[in-house]
Structure 1
Amino acid sequence: MNAVGVVVEYNPFHNGHFYHISQSKEKSNADVVIAVMSGHFLQRGEPAVIDKWHRTKMALQNGADLVIELPYVFSTGHATLFSEGAIQLLEAIGCTNFAFGSEEGTIHPFLNTYKLLKVHEEQYNALIKQYVATGISYPQSLYKAYEELRETEQSQTIDLSKPNNILGYHYIEAAKRLNLRIEPMTIPRIQAGFHEDINTESTIASATGIRKAIFEQQSLEKIKQFVPEESFMLLADWQQQYSSFVQWETFWPYLRFAILRNTAEQLTRFADVSEGIEFALIKAAKKSNSFNEFMTQLKSKRYTWTRLQRMVTHIYTGITKEQLHYSAKPSYIRLLGMTKNGQAYLSQYKKQFQLPLISRVASTNDPMLLLDIRATDMYALGVELASGKKIAVDYQTPPIRL
């Protein structure tokens, strides 16, 4: 059985994701689609709008055969770390290809870009330092350095101002640098841009636009045309049980408490909290009545919204620098769900997997997996305190079977 891998968050699963899965399977001639999915906290430092179990069901009902969890260590990391964890897991579970969505839509410009930055690595790093010294953010410095190198390049390269192109490049970079056998392919992103609002004349919208509509309207009707029926029903199920969807505002009272219960020195122990910001975090937490107000006070040229969100994610979950960087490689494959086809794949190939397959977490002492369990517990606590109702946690929940 030939397997193609996809790296996903499904926050929530929408029609664009359905297109991506179906095209990935068709173009790779795969028998099985394996999704490595972030758990409860995501790459931009956000809590997922619904829990990982609902999102796993969405994936399995719409073309994925296996869903495995991207550990918290990687799912909340910058693009390089996120990509390394995801691609290593897809390699470990036996995928021959990985398919990512991109604005570029063809693979050769990605390979040309990798070659350009590899050949001119010293010059590229020197340019990054120059731009950082001007006071602009690190992501902006990366982009400006790349554009300067790109000016003299003859072959076609990608636009690294586009978010899906950026992640796609990092997937390829991870696979090449780690000498993995898994081969890349890309699926053109269609209709909706990454940050665009929903367009009622289309059936495709970005997850960002869908989330914005949900939170602004407090109703699912406006997004019904943009998600598969199964996803809509699972979103409705969540709303019926817990009244509202999860965002940082949901957790704000508890995040505020987590910040203010620590001294400035203690805050610097948490992952991604850089020296100097700890005083500003405390000052802003004391003054702010909402998460948005808190973030608006902190955001600057040096500290982007995403970078700040990653900091506060680790403060909220209580995860330190030492814990987050304990290992640079995944140490297990955590199974969240499977179809009958996925189960057949596991039965045939699991002895060949490069990492142990974990379906239940009751007897684990793996430090990386313990962080996942803690993240789930803190997500569940926030939902429970906000809604008065409990959600499934790791110790109680076996893999979903469809």
Structure 2
Amino acid sequence: MKSVGLVVEYNPFHNGHLYHLQASKEKAEADAVIAVMSGHFLQRGEPALVSKWSRAKMALQQGADLVIELPYAFATQKAEIFAEGAISILEALKCDSVCFGSENGDISPFLETAETLKELDSDYQDAIKYYMKQGISYPSAQTKAYQSLNTGGHTLDLSLPNNILGYQYVKAIQKQGAAISPLTIKRTAAGYHDEEFNETPIASATSIRKAIFSEENKDIQSFVPETSLYHLKQYKDNFDTFHQWEDYFGFLKYTICTMTHDELKQIYEVEEGLENRIKSLIQQASSFKDFMEQLKTKRYTWTRLQRLCLHILTRTTKEQMKLEEAAAPYLRLLGMSSQGRTYLNRIKKAVDKPIVSTLSAFSHPLLNLDIKAASVYAMIFPEPIRSQFMHSEYSTRPVQYDEKEKLFL
């Protein structure tokens, strides 16, 4: 029984994700699709539009067979650590291959680049340090360092977001000695950061979220499956909101204002005196967007600073984010189809990590971060909704979906 792994956020699940899922399954000739999905907070340091449970349901109804949560300690990290956590989960689940979308669409440059940079790692790291001393961001320094090596052969554009992630997946497979074959399919129509719709039925998640929050109340029906629309509507009806950073700004401001400089310095990713800049700018900031625009510099990307703000919001320290190894220590099962349950039954004796289906059955410091993140995610709800939401974090068992009958069990 062959499986293919996808590393996803589904924020929300849209037509491009459906294309990726179906094309990946076909390319890998897989019987089961394993989706490793970020929880309530995402890699760019922002809250997911709707909860992980709603997004897991979207995925299951459109062909995913297992949905596993990528822990907060990996999901809210730079691309390298994000990829290492995801690949470790897929390896633990005996996944045969991982398939990612890329601007390139050909796996050869990814394999060649990973091998080349492994051989030239010392020169590459020196070049990164050189460019960072010029005051540019780490991702930009990586791109310039790679270009400076004059490697020849297949050139992979590491300035493009999906190519960056794809390279990190391949690198993680090599580093972990994982028995996973990397595959890629070319992204179609919409770019990763496109903010506007085009004439095709595939739009970026960025443009879909922008439409959802727009005052014009733009229609997204053409760009997402009907099941996604249903779960979005159901979530809005139940909780009267879609999550965005502005909802949390008051909590962020309070947290920063009540922390000392020394306490701020202990927060993960607060480095190089950033605590002073954060403290000085927060007092006059009138919104999250306003604060970020003032905080942003050439050296620090919006994404890096947004993740930093998230770690402040959750009071996540450098000590708490210390990873004993670049691998997820448990597998939090969010949902499964009938096919997924069959797959899990076949391989579970060979799985060397605990499979967590309810929080009461397992404890771990990194799982405590996931629970804290869920609590912060729910802060914007009034009582008793907030308490009910947190109760569901402990009591909700993995979502089960019968794909033949098309119903949740």
- Using structure 2 for the length normalisation, give the TM-score: 0.94
Q: CA deviation at 1:315?
A: 1.1
Report what 1:395 is aligned to.
394
**Structure 1 residues 384 and 179: CA distance shift in structure 2, 3 A:** farther
**Structure 1 residues 388 and 320: CA distance shift in structure 2, 3 A:** closer
Distance 2:131 2:265 in 1: 26
Q: CA deviation at 1:384?
A: 3.9
Is 1:226 equivalent to 2:230 in the alignment?
no
Render the CA deviation track for 1:223-274: whole Å, top value 9, x for unaligned: 1110000001111112222333111101111111111110111111111111
Report what 1:58 is aligned to.
58
Q: 1:339 aligns with which of 337, 340, 356?
A: 337
Q: CA deviation at 1:58?
A: 0.5
Report what 2:268 is aligned to.
271
Is 1:183 equivalent to 2:157 in the alignment?
no
Distance 1:274 1:79 in 2: 19
Q: 2:244 aligns with which of 244, 247, 259?
A: 247
Number of matched pairs: 399
Distance 2:285 2:383 in 1: 20
Report what 1:292 is aligned to.
289
Render the CA deviation track for 1:161-220: whole Å, top value 9, x for unaligned: 11000000000001101211111000111110111123242100011111111112473x
Q: CA deviation at 1:288?
A: 1.0
Is 1:169 equivalent to 2:161 in the alignment?
no
Residue 337 of structure 1 aligns to a residue in which SS?
strand
Report what 1:5 is aligned to.
5
Q: CA deviation at 1:391?
A: 3.0
Q: CA deviation at 1:25?
A: 0.7
Residue 338 of structure 1 aligns to a residue in which SS?
strand
Equivalent pair of 1:243/1:387 in contact (CA under 8 Å) = no
Distance 1:122 1:346 in 2: 41
Distance 1:388 1:118 in 2: 47
Q: CA deviation at 1:356?
A: 1.1
The residue identity in structure 2 corresponding to 1:34 is I
Distance 1:299 1:385 in 2: 35
Equivalent pair of 1:250/1:383 in contact (CA under 8 Å) = no
Distance 2:361 2:179 in 1: 32
Q: CA deviation at 1:114?
A: 1.1
**Structure 1 residues 163 and 386: CA distance shift in structure 2, 3 A:** farther
Range that drifts further, 193-202 or 175-184: 193-202
The residue identity in structure 2 corresponding to 1:374 is K
Q: CA deviation at 1:116?
A: 2.0
Report what 2:360 is aligned to.
362
Render the CA deviation track for 1:62-83: whole Å, top value 9, x for unaligned: 1100000000000001111000
Equivalent pair of 2:379/2:386 in contact (CA under 8 Å) = no
Render the CA deviation track for 1:114-145: whole Å, top value 9, x for unaligned: 12212222221121111111111111111111
| Aligned-residue CA RMSD (Å) | 1.7
Render the CA deviation track for 1:30-77: whole Å, top value 9, x for unaligned: 110000000011111111111100000000001100000000000001
Range that drifts further, 359-368 or 64-73: 359-368
Residue 321 of structure 1 aligns to a residue in which SS?
coil
Is 1:123 equivalent to 2:120 in the alignment?
no
**Structure 1 residues 81 and 384: CA distance shift in structure 2, 3 A:** farther
Report what 1:157 is aligned to.
155
Distance 2:88 2:216 in 1: 38
Range that drifts further, 113-122 or 48-57: 113-122
The residue identity in structure 2 corresponding to 1:394 is E
Q: CA deviation at 1:390?
A: 4.9
The residue identity in structure 1 corresponding to 2:7 is V
- Correspondences of 1:298-313 after superposition (within 5 Å): 298-313=295-310
Equivalent pair of 1:268/1:275 in contact (CA under 8 Å) = no
Q: CA deviation at 1:389?
A: 8.6
**Structure 1 residues 352 and 228: CA distance shift in structure 2, 3 A:** same
Distance 1:385 1:160 in 2: 46
Report what 1:69 is aligned to.
69
Equivalent pair of 1:384/1:391 in contact (CA under 8 Å) = no
Is 1:83 equivalent to 2:83 in the alignment?
yes
Equivalent pair of 1:36/1:68 in contact (CA under 8 Å) = yes
Residue 323 of structure 1 aligns to a residue in which SS?
coil
The residue identity in structure 2 corresponding to 1:223 is I
Distance 1:121 1:226 in 2: 42
Equivalent pair of 1:203/1:225 in contact (CA under 8 Å) = yes
Distance 1:217 1:355 in 2: 46
- Correspondences of 1:27-42 after superposition (within 5 Å): 27-42=27-42
Equivalent pair of 2:378/2:386 in contact (CA under 8 Å) = no
Equivalent pair of 1:250/1:386 in contact (CA under 8 Å) = no
Equivalent pair of 1:380/1:390 in contact (CA under 8 Å) = no
Distance 1:37 1:313 in 2: 18
The residue identity in structure 2 corresponding to 1:332 is Y
Q: CA deviation at 1:21?
A: 0.5
Distance 1:387 1:238 in 2: 12
